[in-house]
Structure 1
Amino acid sequence: MQRWGWFLTASLLLGVSAGAQQGPAKSAQPAAVQPVSATPGIAVAPQSVPRTPVSIDQVVDQIIEREHGLMTFLKNRTPLVETYLQNLTPDQKMGAVPKEDHYFLGRLDMSDIIDRRDYLAKQTSFQQSLMGGVTKLFRIQYQPMGFSWMVFVDRQNFDRNHYDFHYVHREFLGEVRTLVFEVTPKKNAGTGLFQGQIWVEDQDYNIVRLNGTYVPRPKNAFYFHMDSWRLNLVPGYWIPSYIYSEEGDFSYGSKDKQAFKAQSRIWGYDVMKDSRDDELTDLKVEAVKDESAVAQDLSPLEAQRAWQQQAEDNVVERLQRAALLAPSGDVDKVLQVRARVMVTYPLETFSVGNTIVISRGLLDTLPDEASLAAVLCHELAHIVLGHNLGSKFAFNDRMLFSDESTYQNFGFRHNPDEEAAADAKAVELLKNSPYAQKLGSAGLYLKQLQARGLMLSALLTAHLGNNLSDSKGQITRLSALMGSAPTLDESKLDQIAALPLGGRIKLDPWGDHVEMIKAAAVSYTSVRDKMPFEVTPFFPRLTRLGSGAATTAENAPAQDGNATK
């Protein structure tokens, strides 16, 4: 990846990197030592010396025990779950492409009965089913709970009375060696039971991946096929983090024309769950003396700036507590203009005081440094022009609302005149920047976005800032850059106007820190490989907490077998 050198861009990336480095320390523990949680208040799973199982049955017993242990560990957690879905249609040149999209964001209650509380007002009511039924017009109605369900194999009935287990083989997932089992419901065991494969790490037999669906299918509804991944984020537990779902068949002669791809991400497990009272236990107050030359009240201008700064700090802190904003890095403390990452899919930016906020989805899809510079420059222009919003949030009582109502209580949208002025100022700043001769890529990105605007209305719906396009999908942000951009030609392999979602930013689901993905460059062999703004499967490289390499003992079953009782 090309180094991003512009000062605002550098501040963003350094802030992201520094924020990621502030996560819990991850030091390896000897096998016989009981680990201590890096996060106060977390009870960790007891660790034991790796042992060779005597039989497949003993392995299965341990798998079931660890899965129920995970349910108990997470039952008081309420992470955020975000689902972005694209319905697909066949295109002769580009393959299956999006024709419309849907977006869900809510807080997942992982207690005995899994439930959701949604952030978006239109989603406040839905059935707790894996998928909505078919309406009288035979239009699929997606239910957000369906995409949240596969955090566990089976919340109620994961045991030998309901399932048969068949050992398949060993397989490495990243640095973690796993045992793969086929899991099938017993005859007449009930409805809505998991059917598929599970991958189990070979030290403590925690499930790290599950892939399949639920059977039998209920009347007038469907169960999705899903691929669910977990990460070793706290000692002894593998935490549900990613869920990918895909349906549809466009092969010749197929009658299945309903197709979609969907990503679900889960994060915010640690938000406001562990007591912070311990921060006060070592509080030491020393005598403080004002060393300034002349101690005096602030001037009117200084007071106004301090008031706006208080509002800015209140908003940033509240967004972070709602798990919508990634923690900051050290660089943010010294910059006049702060850049923060909003960890959601929809493409948006906004500014509060001197803080510029840019969404993860927008960062993911921008093709290069010049495009990022253009996006940030629009918000910088608002700051330079004094278009301050949100000073009313200096009153702390305005922060007293539920996380789920964040979007109803916050809004940082500028009027059309201010947006036009910011665009003009941004173009002026860019023409005097190192990117003056590289703005064609930014314009090309906007052209690609406009070409798919009508099909991606959910992705283009900003929830706190201004939209990048109008209701017809026409780009309204920095549209002047499109005039000097090359002609958009999706058939050209060397023209990468926009990237797929998930291409740049990696989010830690436990502590919400973000970092840049360090992926090797991949050659394109077909125009279908480009997938601008599209959803793709998850394939994280699994590692053990505190381990730099896979060092597991030989403790897998010696031969294939069945475990049924």
Structure 2
Amino acid sequence: MRTLKILVLALGAMPLAAAAQQQTPLTEVVDKIVAQEQAEVQALRQYSPIVETYIQILRPSKDLGAVPNGDKYFLGRADLANGVELVPLVTGTRTKHKMFGALGSFFSDEFLPRGFLQMIYVDTNGFDRQHYKFDYVGREFLGEVRCLVFDVDPLSKGDKGRFVGRIWVEDQDYHIVRFNGGYSGRSKSSYYFSFDSWRTNDGNSEWLPAYIYSEEGDNVAVNTFKAQTRLWGYAPGRSMEEQELSKVLVETPRPVNDQTAIANDYSPLQAKRAWGRQAEDNIAAKMEQLGLMAPYGDVDKVLETVINNLEVTNNLDIQPVVRCRVLMTSTLESFTMGHTIVLSRGLVDVLPDEASLAAILAHELGHVVLGHRTGAQFAFFNRLRFDEKETLRHFGFTFTPDEEQAATLEGMDLLSKSPYKDQPGNTQFFLQALQDRAKEIPNLVSPHLGKSVAPTWTIASAASSSDPIAAKPAGNVIAALPLGGRIKVEPWNNRLRMLKSKAVGAVAEDEKMPFEVTPFFLYLTRQGVNPLTETPSAVSLKLDSDTNIPDRKP
């Protein structure tokens, strides 16, 4: 009887095993993708992320293929509840940026900011099997995320604004995590650009639009260009709130004894320092809340390590301690507010090495050592009550020309006694490359709150005067990195982390790309989930077999 029972159980299990091996119909998978994308469009309506678009107009170069020949810039906050509406943050007379186009109709003969924002959506009206043909291509890994890949085309050739291209769909919940192509229906007066749009996981089963690369090179109606659009600040202040809520403060029920022997009071000097620190904290907290400054993290610690190296080798004991923070924007700028040094993400991105970073920080540290102060009025909390659109006009951290020159001389002296004194070459090459390119990228080098990098040029020149420097870098030396060369942004909480990429080996001359726009290619992960047991050996790995849905080729 025992044998009979086993046989019966085995026979009873056979239909279940056979059912498990059955393939999911393609139409069912497509319907799940469509339903998830429609839910995504609705879910995004609750968010108002910051949107930054930077465009480089290109001209042909005999040796380098194409190089920048002008640029455009936009920084604003999206109002996704009302479609692709944008509120610009770069306005007024303080900033030097020239906004591209106007917030008018979608793509005319100008670059329009909300036209680039539109690229976060595949199709907001009619992304379904009634309007599109879905051809299954296969499976592919994007980082650690396994995806189903489909080619997508509108069923009606006459439809305008329909997506034409390829989509990548993560195979757990059927979110579209990447789509590459363009919109149909170009005409002489309006046209759509090719683009590659990426979404990243926020750890809560949401995939949020984060990076968009677009370009145009074969349309006589528009200039050849490349553009990067970044989105962040989906939950402004979330990381700061999480930090505050995680703190445990205990108030003792017993009265506190007056211990007069302990020096707890503030002297006038200490009170002045505390007042200045309060102003710095107020500014940083306000800008972090608005999504313009990253939460304190690993990148800030890297900058502070360089500051520590400069202080130790110069026997400096600065109180309060010097801190570093990072501005979220791509513009190349740095500034000092009290004892807090701020560098933009874009500036950290393009610096080629630690010595170049030290040259920038040495200039700012010079302001601290010399006692130059700005922003002390923001220790008053009523000074922080202003409309978000006025942020970049309300804050400003610049010094007089005499103070800048004094900080330059002090920075030169700090560098001459530092571990970086014997590494001036790359720093000089970086600043020379920036000086050579400045006319072609005026918006990138125009600061929002501080100053451009140009004043630090004399630091590298003077620091290297005792050693002859080559007229131009050797073939294997990169003077400056392209945009996005060092830092990756987590768009849901604004945290920054250093990129971890493999060595690339020999670099051709046209691959050096100083200060240039390049495509995005992300290593996608699921936040809060352990990596796959079998980690792919490359960023993108296409599998030959597919056991869940039938293999089909277009």
Taking structure 1 as the reference length, the TM-score comes to: 0.81
Mean CA deviation greater in 264-273 or 458-467: 264-273
Alpha-carbon spacing, 1:400–1:52, altered in 2? closer, same or farther (3 Å) = farther
CA–CA distance in 2 between the matches of 1:262 and 1:477? 32
Question: Are 1:383 and 2:368 matched, yes or no?
Answer: yes
Quote the residue 1:279 is aligned against: 245
Quote the residue 2:508 is aligned against: 526
Question: Are 1:223 and 2:208 matched, yes or no?
Answer: no
Question: Are 1:86 and 2:56 matched, yes or no?
Answer: yes
Whichever residue aligns with residue 245 of structure 2, its letter is: E
2:112 aligns with one of 143, 159, 163: 143
Q: Identity of paired residues, percent?
A: 44
How far did residue 396 of structure 1 move? 0.7
Quote the residue 2:329 is aligned against: 344
Quote the residue 1:549 is aligned against: 532
User: Which segments of 5 or more consecutive residues in structure 1 lack a partner in the other structure?
Assistant: 1-49, 135-140
1:411 aligns with one of 392, 396, 418: 396
1:427 aligns with one of 398, 412, 419: 412
Partner SS state of residue 266, structure 1 = strand
What are the Cα deviations for residues 456-482 of structure 1, in whole angstroms up to 9, with x where unaligned?
111110111012249xxx967766458
Question: Are 1:507 and 2:489 matched, yes or no?
Answer: yes
Quote the residue 1:120 is aligned against: 90
CA–CA distance in 2 between the matches of 1:55 and 1:335? 65
Quote the residue 1:298 is aligned against: 266
Q: Check conservation: 2:487, 2:499, Cα contact below 8 A.
A: yes
How far did residue 297 of structure 1 move? 5.1
What are the Cα deviations for residues 4-29 of structure 1, in whole angstroms up to 9, with x where unaligned?
xxxxxxxxxxxxxxxxxxxxxxxxxx
1:161 aligns with one of 130, 135, 139: 130
Alignment of 1:68-83 (within 5 A): 68-83=38-53
Alignment of 1:180-219 (within 5 A): 180-187=149-156, 190-219=159-188
CA–CA distance in 2 between the matches of 1:281 and 1:388? 31
Quote the residue 2:230 is aligned against: 265
- Corresponding residue pairs, total: 498
Whichever residue aligns with residue 24 of structure 2, its letter is: V
Q: Check conservation: 1:83, 1:105, Cα contact below 8 A.
A: yes
Partner SS state of residue 39, structure 2 = helix
Question: Are 1:516 and 2:498 matched, yes or no?
Answer: yes
Alpha-carbon spacing, 1:441–1:54, altered in 2? closer, same or farther (3 Å) = closer
Alpha-carbon spacing, 1:271–1:369, altered in 2? closer, same or farther (3 Å) = same
Alpha-carbon spacing, 1:318–1:292, altered in 2? closer, same or farther (3 Å) = farther
Alpha-carbon spacing, 1:351–1:276, altered in 2? closer, same or farther (3 Å) = closer
Partner SS state of residue 71, structure 1 = helix
CA–CA distance in 1 between the matches of 2:457 and 2:438? 8
Partner SS state of residue 456, structure 1 = coil
How far did residue 256 of structure 1 move? 7.7
Q: Check conservation: 1:115, 1:128, Cα contact below 8 A.
A: no
How far did residue 101 of structure 1 move? 1.1
Alpha-carbon spacing, 1:301–1:276, altered in 2? closer, same or farther (3 Å) = closer
Whichever residue aligns with residue 486 of structure 1, its letter is: I
How far did residue 61 of structure 1 move? 0.5
Mean CA deviation greater in 51-60 or 407-416: 51-60
What are the Cα deviations for residues 399-424 of structure 1, in whole angstroms up to 9, with x where unaligned?
11233321011000111010000000
2:142 aligns with one of 143, 149, 173: 173
Quote the residue 2:539 is aligned against: none
Quote the residue 1:438 is aligned against: 423
What are the Cα deviations for residues 47-70 of structure 1, in whole angstroms up to 9, with x where unaligned?
xxx997631111111001111222
CA–CA distance in 2 between the matches of 1:185 and 1:411? 49
What are the Cα deviations for residues 321-357 of structure 1, in whole angstroms up to 9, with x where unaligned?
1111111149689981101111211111111111111
Whichever residue aligns with residue 262 of structure 1, its letter is: A
Larger Rg: 2
CA–CA distance in 1 between the matches of 2:125 and 2:468? 56
CA–CA distance in 2 between the matches of 1:95 and 1:208? 31
Alpha-carbon spacing, 1:508–1:488, altered in 2? closer, same or farther (3 Å) = farther
What are the Cα deviations for residues 250-292 of structure 1, in whole angstroms up to 9, with x where unaligned?
xxxx968821111111111121479959939986533573656
Q: Check conservation: 2:429, 2:472, Cα contact below 8 A.
A: no
Partner SS state of residue 228, structure 2 = strand
Partner SS state of residue 111, structure 1 = helix
What are the Cα deviations for residues 518-544 of structure 1, in whole angstroms up to 9, with x where unaligned?
111112342101111111111111222
User: Which segments of 5 or more consecutive residues in structure 2 lack a partner in the other structure?
Assistant: 1-19, 92-97, 306-318, 536-544
Partner SS state of residue 364, structure 1 = helix
CA–CA distance in 1 between the matches of 2:396 and 2:200? 34
Partner SS state of residue 140, structure 2 = strand
Alpha-carbon spacing, 1:212–1:329, altered in 2? closer, same or farther (3 Å) = closer
How far did residue 295 of structure 1 move? 6.2
CA–CA distance in 1 between the matches of 2:252 and 2:187? 67
CA–CA distance in 2 between the matches of 1:374 and 1:357? 14
Mean CA deviation greater in 202-211 or 380-389: 202-211
Whichever residue aligns with residue 500 of structure 1, its letter is: P
Q: Check conservation: 1:543, 1:549, Cα contact below 8 A.
A: no
Partner SS state of residue 210, structure 1 = strand
CA–CA distance in 2 between the matches of 1:281 and 1:493? 52
CA–CA distance in 2 between the matches of 1:85 and 1:485? 37
CA–CA distance in 2 between the matches of 1:305 and 1:275? 24
CA–CA distance in 2 between the matches of 1:275 and 1:385? 32
What are the Cα deviations for residues 214-233 of structure 1, in whole angstroms up to 9, with x where unaligned?
11124512211100011122
CA–CA distance in 2 between the matches of 1:494 and 1:538? 24
Alpha-carbon spacing, 1:455–1:176, altered in 2? closer, same or farther (3 Å) = same
How far did residue 155 of structure 1 move? 2.0
Partner SS state of residue 362, structure 1 = helix
CA–CA distance in 2 between the matches of 1:275 and 1:360? 19
Question: Are 1:103 and 2:43 matched, yes or no?
Answer: no
What are the Cα deviations for residues 57-115 of structure 1, in whole angstroms up to 9, with x where unaligned?
11111001111222232221111111111111111111101011111111112225221
Q: Check conservation: 1:268, 1:510, Cα contact below 8 A.
A: yes
2:551 aligns with one of 532, 536, 559: 559
Q: CA RMSD in A?
A: 3.1
Alpha-carbon spacing, 1:464–1:485, altered in 2? closer, same or farther (3 Å) = farther
Alignment of 1:296-335 (within 5 A): 298-329=266-297
Q: Check conservation: 2:412, 2:459, Cα contact below 8 A.
A: no
Whichever residue aligns with residue 512 of structure 1, its letter is: N
Taking structure 2 as the reference length, the TM-score comes to: 0.83
How far did residue 561 of structure 1 move? 7.0
